Copies of this chain bind each other. A is one copy, B any other.
């Protein structure tokens, strides 16, 4: 299809598509003349992912480019590509100077992963942004004196495990490995606010059930 049709089918303006092409967020189409290029379904799919990351997820263009580079890296096997792409998603920054609280948080995170038998997480450990985000979150709880020992974290981790099964079931509904990697990235980002808002709504229900004057 030509640029005009790609724009119509994606609902994204030709100006924005040209910007994504210049920023190397979208692969160039197959050139058919000096001024025209031909695009296919993979461009349409990629555009959807770019929009998910940038327009909906609010990700900076440079970060999106890194995530997409991981999605496209054919040198990795399917699990590794999926991992690398989710890996490249930005996570909370870590404090500059790790102190005793950070060390204790790292030990708590390691103990939690071992306890869950998450051997992949144990191996990659500190290299993973999600692991560093977990350590920073535990350190934050610890610094403010809120409960964050392994017993307290365990039920959250088990529920996160169930969430991941739901996530991967949804990802597996996509046919090709490339579509699956793209969906894993988009659904990880786009379902975060779904999850956080549902948790707050569920807290209100549960609070009303336990403490509400009507209940």
Contact = CB atoms under 8 A, between A and B. Distances in A.
A195 interface: yes
A60 interface: no
A31 interface: no
A121 B160 contact: no
A188 B141 CA distance: 11
A145 B89 CA distance: 20
Nearest to A145: B48
Please state the number of chain copies in the assembly.
2
Nearest to A182: B146
Given A79-B207, A170-B147, A202-B164, A156 B194 contact: yes
A156 B120 contact: no
Nearest to A162: B159
Interface of A: 11, 48-49, 51-52, 55-57, 77-79, 82-83, 86, 89, 91-92, 113, 118, 120-121, 124, 128-131, 133-134, 136-138, 140-141, 143-148, 152-153, 155-157, 159-168, 170, 172-173, 183-184, 186-188, 190-208, 210-213
Contacts of A55: 143-144
A47 B41 CA distance: 55
A67 to B, nearest CB: 13
B186 A146 contact: yes
A159 B163 contact: yes
